[in-house]
Amino acid sequence: MGLFSFFKKKAFFSEQDQARIVAAISSAEKSTSGEIRLYVESKNPYMDPLQRAAEIFFQSKMENTVDRNGVLLYIALKDRELALFGDEGIHQKVGTQYWQNAVQNMIGQFSKKEIATGIEQCILQVGQTLKDTFPYDASTDKNELSDEIIFGK
């Protein structure tokens, strides 16, 4: 135990859960040109979670995907908030109710204390929707955004 070990920040997820989530993102993106990103932070800095998701989406320049089909899953763990934000290309095809249903499905898992499972299932659900609306094209597709989880404060 180091002298300053009490300053060590607790990880949001176990290494196994992180690997499962990243694998879900990679798997979901294999059959679509769409991009999925997960942003996790401890607390939401005083705004509506959907507004925070939009802020992160645009700060991260996720709107720069070719087909405007990026999706951000935002979670503020300590505040118990989450949101899905889809770029205009995917949002025009699925509508607001789709995102609300996906969030409700995730909340169902979260209420069972299955945070990683809820995230994984949501990512795979969004991935299937992206596959249906923006199928993979081997001649043009590339991974435009990293599949790694982004951790805020």
What pairs with residue 71 in β-bridges? Answer: 36, 86
Residue 108 lies in a domain: yes
Indicate if the pLDDT at residue 4 is higher than 60: no
Indicate if the pLDDT at residue 56 is higher than 90: yes
Q: What percent of the chain has pLDDT over 90?
A: 74
Counting Cα atoms < 13 Å in the Cβ hemisphere of 110 gives 15
Q: Which domain holds residue 71?
A: 12-135+147-151
How far apart CA 34 and CA 137 sit, in angstroms, is 11
Residue 74 lies in a domain: yes
Residue 5 lies in a domain: no
How deeply is 131 buried, as exposed, middle or buried, from its count of CB atoms within 10 A (0-12, 13-18, 19+)?
middle
Residue 4 lies in a domain: no
26: domain CATH number is: 3.10.310.50
Per-residue exposure over 6-29, b if at least 16 CB sit within 10 Å of its own CB, e if not: eeeeeebbeeebbebbbebbeebb
Residue 9: CB partners within 8 Å, gap ≥ 6? none
Q: Which pLDDT belongs to residue 48?
A: 94
Residue 2 lies in a domain: no
Task: Express the helix, strand and coil content of the chain in percent, nearest 5 each.
Answer: 50, 15, 35
The predicted-structure confidence for 89-120, as pLDDT tens digits, reads as follows: 999 999 999 999 999 999 999 989 899 999 99
Work out how many domains the chain is built from and give that number. Answer: 1
How far apart CA 153 and CA 149 sit, in angstroms, is 13
The predicted-structure confidence for 82-97, as pLDDT tens digits, reads as follows: 999 999 999 999 999 9
pTM, two decimals, is 0.89
**Angstrom distances, CA of residue 105 to CA of 15, 109, 137:** 24, 7, 29
Instruction: Output the six-digit token pair for 39.
Output: 């942003």
Average pLDDT over residues 3-13: 57
Residue 141 lies in a domain: no
Residue 140 lies in a domain: no
Residue 93 lies in a domain: yes
How many Cβ atoms sit within 10 Å of the Cβ of residue 114? 14
